[in-house]
Amino acid sequence: MARLTSILLLLSLLCFFPLCLCDKSYGGKLFPGFYAHSCPQAGEIVRSVVAKAVARETRMAASLMRLHFHDCFVQGCDGSLLLDSSGKIVSEKGSNPNSRSARGFDVVDQIKAELEKQCPGTVSCADALTLAARDSSVLTGGPSWVVSLGRRDSRSASLSGSNNNIPAPNNTFQTILSKFNRQGLDVTDLVALSGSHTIGFSRCTSFRQRLYNQSGNGRPDMTLEQSFAANLRQRCPRSGGDQILSVLDIISAAKFDNSYFKNLIENKGLLNSDQVLFSSNEKSRELVKKYAEDQGEFFEQFAESMIKMGNISPLTGSSGEIRKNCRKINS
């Protein structure tokens, strides 16, 4: 009888043990069921807020995906980009890649407020932003993927990291690839993730150089298709109008599809950092062609590369914190 009791006790402990793991760091690694018991509705809460935001403004999907990208390339996917300047923290929002262009912070605030209402002190801002990026893809017709969770929020930001690590619109192909390589991403990830430019807009200041002074000799970028360039000049003057927007994908700016790659083949990529994928490297050129021909292939690789990017240097276990407010560290 005593032996039977011991066996039953052991079985009960084994049954309970996995449940304990679901709300803690699973060996310091991320996994999809991290909030299965502490906040099972987390995914639905994020999805609901993002859906309403995208319904109000389709552009918001691109903005949220860009926030995730700019967050992960600085200190890893730790929500550092979401911090405002305060005390010793100098916000990444003031960096060259983010100043006057990064947006969607109010939507992240709404997500966090709902999560705190339902599951106080449980879901990190870093995880919320990662889920929001996935949902932004799905809501605009793009692929879905399983998001591993368990990221914690940083207690610091890096303005210099934001200025140095995030590729700029006028960077050369090799500079962009080097910045991706630093994050453990390769040329396939670079081309696939650049495909997120199938939705959204860019500011005149980000592509003006191509229109008027590409190489410092007062001449435009000759790889830019002429009629496309002429149309852009009507919207983007030689000086002034920095904040004027143009679509990144002239075929279907509000739909996540593979038309971005078709544009590159026709030399109608808006940004220099887009067009160099086709004009400057043989391997990336072949990938552009492949994704232009096969949307399914692009979607599959995009999902895989987003998972890979979302796993860059996460804080787990007892590192970092779970912020109550994504804009400031807990006091």
Residues involved in catalysis: 70
CA neighbor of 309 nearest in space, from 29, 74, 85: 74
3 state SS of 223: coil
CA neighbor of 324 nearest in space, from 159, 121, 68: 121
Residue ranges at the known binding site for substrate? 167
Residue ranges at the known binding site for Ca(2+)? 71, 74, 76, 78, 80, 92, 198, 249, 257
CA neighbor of 69 nearest in space, from 101, 35, 28, 41: 101
Residue ranges at the known binding site for heme b? 197
Distance (Å, whole) CA 192 – CA 297: 10
Provide Rg for the chain, Cα atoms.
Answer: 22
- Tracing tokens 């030689």 back to the chain, one arrives at 238
Long-range contacts of 296-300, Cβ-Cβ distance < 8 Å, separation of 24 or more: 298/192, 298/195, 298/258, 298/261, 299/142, 299/143, 300/143
Residue ranges at the known binding site? 71, 74, 76, 78, 80, 92, 167, 197-198, 249, 257
DSSP alpha helix (H) spans, 272-324 = 272-279, 282-293, 295-310
